Amino acid sequence: MTNANKDRIVLRLVTKNIQQSQTLVTSKDHFDFWGSYTFAKTYSPLIIVPGYPPRFDEHKARNIGPDGWRIRPDSGKHWVDEHAAKAQIQQFKPLFQMLAVLFPNAKLNNIHIVINRSSLMSLHKVAKGEVTQDFNLDLDLVGNTLFVGRKSRHAKVTSNAYGHNFEAQFTVPDPDFDDAEGYYRVIRYTLGDLELVVRIEADAYMATSRDPPTFPAPIADEIIDAAPAIMQNGPQQTKVVLGGKMIPQDQIIELKSNDKSKPKEQMWFGRTPNSCCGSFQNELKRFKDLEKEKAKRDFEKWESGFAEATDDFSNDMDIQKGLQKLVSLLKMLREATKKTAEGSAVMVYAEDENKQRILTVYEAKEKIGVVPKEIEKMFWD
């Protein structure tokens, strides 16, 4: 919170008092897939566009066998926020490097919010009254577009769960590029009466009989500076390589090692239409069953239904109401940031001395500058 001007508060609210918007929130509204990229395992930041997602191993999933699969718990450190390490200062810059290659004529004048799925889900929890841990977000305006940037304490964390090894068990890396790390997709959709661009990390894709558009495997002399349209003058220059596959959204699949998680909410915010969840038999230390389903047909049911009761989220709060409260919260953050001198703010979500959950937006001491001026000139009129 070092960049927050504590003497200049532009918004302070008790989160339980957030009112819902009046516009229906539905996944039937406008949706577009804008592109994708993969981070390479390189010392300097390098992305491959449109990237190399792992392929879901349908054969292995169908032939799990009566004894299931023994999968070791995760070990070592794993990414929780790859952009925090590889694009720390301007975390959305790789997104625009990708756009400069695939859609250089795109315009964001009519986009209200640019955000990653993780931050969007955190704000959803705040809006619907679910108690979460404290967190901060950077808020920065480019034109009328609000960028919501994540602030992670650690880009990598250790884990003794099964999620990463579960994914590795049932996916196959692309044979054309074995130095791929996180695979990210950029989607645009309508949330109530807001237009959002959302960056998501995708687990894998399901192969089909039709081949997606493919770019040749990258070679050293194909490295470019995100197309001539963007000259890189700022810190943390991101190199771009053409390579990979343009995977349609209906082939993307979410993998979960715990079938109890039923990741409907995560899939809804990422518009991910397919899922595969494992059933872990603790006494056998094995995964016995896999449940694969098409979730897209359940999106409308989920968004208009009721949440199950939990310790933090009572069942008298229906899901639609929570989504409408999220729309209201995003609007408040955008309007609060407009009140700052340079269109730059820091949001802090924490508990006050009275044990109330408070959301406070401070004017930033210094302009955050979420994207370079060259990008701003290219994608905003």
Q: pTM for this structure?
A: 0.88
What is the DSSP annotation of 196-262? Answer: EEEEEE--EE---SSPPPEEPPP-GGG-BSS-TTS---SSS--EEEEEEE---GGGEEEEES-TTS-
**Which residues, at least 6 apart from 286, have a Cβ–Cβ distance to it below 8 Å?**
67, 68, 69, 70, 71, 280
Q: What is the distance between the alpha carbons of residues 94 and 100, in angstroms, rounded to a whole number?
A: 10
Question: Closest Cα partner for 287 from 108, 43, 73?
Answer: 73
Per-residue pLDDT at 335: 98
Q: What is the distance between the alpha carbons of residues 165 and 177, in angstroms, rounded to a whole number?
A: 20
246 phi, psi to nearest 5 deg? -90, 100
pLDDT, tens digit only, all 381 positions of the chain? 689 999 999 999 998 899 999 999 999 988 999 999 999 987 778 899 999 999 988 877 677 666 666 666 655 554 467 887 777 778 999 999 999 999 999 999 999 999 999 999 999 999 998 877 899 999 999 999 999 998 766 554 555 555 556 667 778 888 888 788 889 999 999 999 999 999 999 999 999 877 666 665 554 444 444 444 454 555 557 788 889 989 999 999 998 866 555 578 899 999 999 988 876 655 445 556 677 778 777 888 889 875 544 433 334 358 999 999 999 999 999 999 999 999 999 999 998 888 889 999 999 999 988 888 889 999 999
Per-residue pLDDT at 5: 94
Q: Would you call the peptide bond into 50 cis, given omega within 30 degrees of 0 as the criterion?
A: yes
Per-residue pLDDT at 372: 87
Question: Closest Cα partner for 104 from 49, 159, 55, 54?
Answer: 49
**Which residues, at least 6 apart from 361, have a Cβ–Cβ distance to it below 8 Å?**
9, 10, 11, 12, 139, 333, 336, 337, 345, 346, 347, 348
Per-residue pLDDT at 354: 86
How does strand 252-256 pair with strand 204-205? antiparallel
| Amino acid found at 364 | A
User: Are 292 and 313 contacting, i.e. CB atoms less than 8 angstroms apart?
Assistant: no
Largest pairwise CA distance in the chain = 64
Q: Measured between alpha carbons, how far is residue 359 from residues 13, 21, 292, 334 in Å?
A: 5, 18, 38, 14
114 phi, psi to nearest 5 deg? -120, 125
Q: Which H/E stretch holds residue 145? A: strand 145-150
How does strand 344-351 pair with strand 180-191? unpaired
